[in-house]
Amino acid sequence: MKNIIITAFLTLCIFSAAPVAAHKMRLFAYGNATTISGEAAFGSRPAKNIEVVVSNEADGTTLVTTLTDELGNFTFAVPGEAVENRFNLLIIANAGEGHRSQWRLAAEEYLPASTTETAGPAEPRPSQPVHPRPQANQQVAITEEQLKAIVDQSVAEQLRPLQRQLLLLSEKKTTLQDIIGGIGYILGLAGIAAYMRSKKEDKNVHS
């Protein structure tokens, strides 16, 4: 009788639990050399008003501290030193209560490729287009860098849902196999414990 009820309770737990998403915090970020945006969520619920700390991965110094908004989004301006020294950023969201998640944003993910950067400072460039084209028809001249920045930004925006989807996909969901496997382990351990005890009791009886 009692075993049936306990089994029924456990079965109920298993089936009510199966569709629930883990409460682990999910975090991701993207951006360009000026601003970095990102979002944090618990399963499908946005993680509101959570402290986000951005640090330099190499030495762990804190560069920026910000908070997520009502939708779990956050944005911060990239500090100059991070751009100059091409820091790999470590973005850590800490919801207190021991919930913590981190996202690594490598330098090449938010900064333009190093070849253009090292080719020389951006100062002499703007003077070049002036020579061949003296801006006859009031057209706004866009330098190569500006165009690249615009494209980079819009591509990053477009990739955002894709990134989120990828992250959701890569997140390991709890499956029925996990639950049943875990219970199987517990029963197996109970079996081992029972066996050890019975051996010990045998010894006590015989000696």
Residues in contact with other proteins by CB under 8 A are 1-2, 5-6, 9-10, 13-14, 16-18, 20, 22-25, 42-43, 45, 47-49, 94-102, 172, 174, 178-179, 181-183, 185-187, 189-190, 193-194, 197-198, 201
- Whichever of 144 and 202 has its CB closer to other proteins, that residue is 202
Minimum separation from the CB atom of position 172 to other proteins (A): 6
The DSSP output letter for 122 is S
Minimum separation from the CB atom of position 197 to other proteins (A): 5
- Whichever of 23 and 203 has its CB closer to other proteins, that residue is 23
Which candidate, 10, 14, 12, places its Cα nearest to that of 178? 14
Paired strand residues for 56:
89
Separation of first and last alpha carbons in the chain: 38
Report which residue type is found at 26: R
Paired strand residues for 105:
89
- Whichever of 23 and 131 has its CB closer to other proteins, that residue is 23
Minimum separation from the CB atom of position 46 to other proteins (A): 11
**What is the b/e burial string over 63-89, where b = at least 16 CB atoms within 10 angstroms of the residue's CB?**
bbebebeeebebebebeeebbeeebeb
Minimum separation from the CB atom of position 184 to other proteins (A): 9
Give the angle subtended at the CA of 29 by the CAs of 25 and 33, to the nearest 5°: 160
- Whichever of 131 and 172 has its CB closer to other proteins, that residue is 172
